[in-house]
Each structure stands twice: as C-alpha cells, then as structure tokens.
Amino acid sequence: MEGRTRGGVTFAAVASAALLAFCALSVAWASVVRVQNGAFALLGGTPKITSLARSTFSEGNATLVIRQFGPERKILLDYDMDMEKLMHLIVVRDDFAEFMHLHPAFDATTGAFTQAIKKNPYHRYYVYADTTPRGIGQQVFRFTLANDEPLTAFPVSIALSNASVAVAPYTASLGATTLRANQAQSLAFNVSRNGAPASDLRPYLGAAAHAVFINVATLQYVHLHPTVKGAGAMQMNAGMAMAHAAAGPAMQLNLPALPAGTYKLWLQFRGGDDRVYTAPFTLLLR
C-alpha cells in the first residue's frame, strides 16, 4: 500500500486534475489516502493561490503533504519567512480541545511541505496552513483530517472561559472574554507568575506572543501578535536597538473587526525555561 500510494507521480497527476477542475476534490484510492483542496480561511483576506493537501493515515498518525499553486497553476517555490518559519501549521481537534502549532519541513525543489501529525482516530482535525508566498501576501487554507474510524460525539463548548487561565507556573489573563463584534479594538493580555507580573518571558518565534482565533461556526482564522506595553519607552531610555521582539508580562492585542460569534483563542508565549505555553480561551463577540 505504501508503494502504491506514495508515488509523487500519482500525487502530481491528481493535483493537476484538481486544478483543472477548479473544484474541491476528495479522492481516496485506499481508505488511508486523501487529497483535498484547501478552503480559504483567512478572515478579511482573499484567496490568490490554490492549496492542495495529500494526507496519509496509519495507526493514529497522519502525514500531510501540502503543495500550493500560483495564479498560472505553477507550483509555488518561493515563500517569505514569516515569524522565522515558511509555514505555520495550526492543527485543532474538532471539539477544539487540542491545539498544535507546527512548522512543516519544506522541500524547495518540489514545493512540498511535509508534516506528521499525531491524531486521535475518532476525531476530525482542522488544519490551517498559514504561509506568505513571495509577492502575494498572507494566505491561509483549511483542510480537514479524518480517517475512517467512527467519529465520537464532539460537543463544542461555547461557554465563555474565565478571563484568567492557569498554565502552570504561569497564569494568562485577558482584559475581557466578551468583546464587541465588527469593530477594531484592543484586548489586554497579561501573564503572571506566583501572583506577580511574570518577569522571565522570552520572545517566541520573533514575537512577544502568538494569538490564534478561530470562529467555531465558520472556522475562519486570524493570527495576531501582541505589542508589549511600555516596551518602546524602555528601549528608548536604554538607547538600544532591538534585535528581537521584546516579551513582557503586560501585552495588548490589537484586534481587527471580527464578525459576531464564539471564538476559540489560543495564546502562546515562551517561558523563562524556554518552554512554549499555550493558554486556551473561549470568547464571545457580540
């Protein structure tokens, strides 16, 4: 089965067919391989490329190979580095209870991004491929990973989370969990440790922190980076050029206008121990 389904020729042929058809394609030769056309998922953006994923399943693991094509159906080989990586792959389980932020390996000669994903076979996973093709700008496409096991019931909790979430030894706190829909606003985000502002945070992938919002109904995606409160003033006082983004206990997310609805938010920051901490929230925009 491996030999029959892993051939690059087969994938290329299917990729061309899908592009010619200009429509969503879901083909399975065997129960374990699927090819799908990504659904554009960047809130506020417009699709300028085509993104195709081939997924292979075995024993609770999926291997995803993503290739993207430009306006003339040419495979894209040139990507701008965004936050130190060519592709950010956000993977969430269908009940939003699991979140992964991965960075697939890129083959610059074939244009293929490859990522192994450990998945629970009884759940679907939504996969967001976030890239910046050179000269095109940010593009985000969503894929669904599902193998043939029966799905478990996956109630999505839309109960608002507390404004403070413990991710030991830190506590991540938002200024609010109910926000205004359809208007830009800023949202305070603070990290504490032992009841005091955390003084040991480090930048993560070139930003003070990373925030991924997903609308649970539309599955639209937004990825933002907070600014650090007071960082500018401190740097000017010190008279230092900034080599890296600062991280700080007091941050602010500048949100674009977001449609009404329930959103899952994951805030990721790096601790003094170099580990990446992920704080999950559920927000309501109304």
Residue ranges binding Cu ion (CB under 5 A): 83, 210
Least distance (Å) between residue 145 CB and Cu ion: 22
Tokens 């208007």 correspond to 183
Q: Tell me whether residue 83 or residue 97 sits nearer to Cu ion (CB atom).
A: 83
Q: Tell me whether residue 117 or residue 212 sits nearer to Cu ion (CB atom).
A: 212
d(CA 146, CA 193): 39
Least distance (Å) between residue 283 CB and Cu ion: 18
Least distance (Å) between residue 81 CB and Cu ion: 12
Q: Tell me whether residue 210 or residue 264 sits nearer to Cu ion (CB atom).
A: 210
Least distance (Å) between residue 106 CB and Cu ion: 17
In single-letter form, the type of residue at position 41 comes to A
Q: Tell me whether residue 43 or residue 83 sits nearer to Cu ion (CB atom).
A: 83
Q: Tell me whether residue 54 or residue 210 sits nearer to Cu ion (CB atom).
A: 210
Least distance (Å) between residue 50 CB and Cu ion: 24
Nearest residue to the partner Cu ion, using Cβ: 210
d(CA 129, CA 189): 26
Least distance (Å) between residue 249 CB and Cu ion: 19
d(CA 55, CA 113): 12
Q: Tell me whether residue 83 or residue 231 sits nearer to Cu ion (CB atom).
A: 83
Q: Tell me whether residue 106 or residue 266 sits nearer to Cu ion (CB atom).
A: 266
Cβ contacts of residue 24 below 8 Å, gap of 6+? 36, 37, 39
In single-letter form, the type of residue at position 82 comes to D
Element holding 239 (H helix, E strand): none
Least distance (Å) between residue 275 CB and Cu ion: 17
d(CA 6, CA 54): 10
In single-letter form, the type of residue at position 103 comes to H
Q: Tell me whether residue 142 or residue 210 sits nearer to Cu ion (CB atom).
A: 210
Backbone angles phi, psi at 118, to 5 degrees: -85, 120
For residue 104 the two structure tokens come to 């697939």
- Cβ proximity of 138 and 221 under 8 Å: no
d(CA 105, CA 97): 25
d(CA 13, CA 4): 14
| Length of the chain counted residue by residue | 286
Question: How many C-beta atoms surround the C-beta of residue 185 within 10 A?
Answer: 16
d(CA 51, CA 15): 10
Least distance (Å) between residue 116 CB and Cu ion: 21
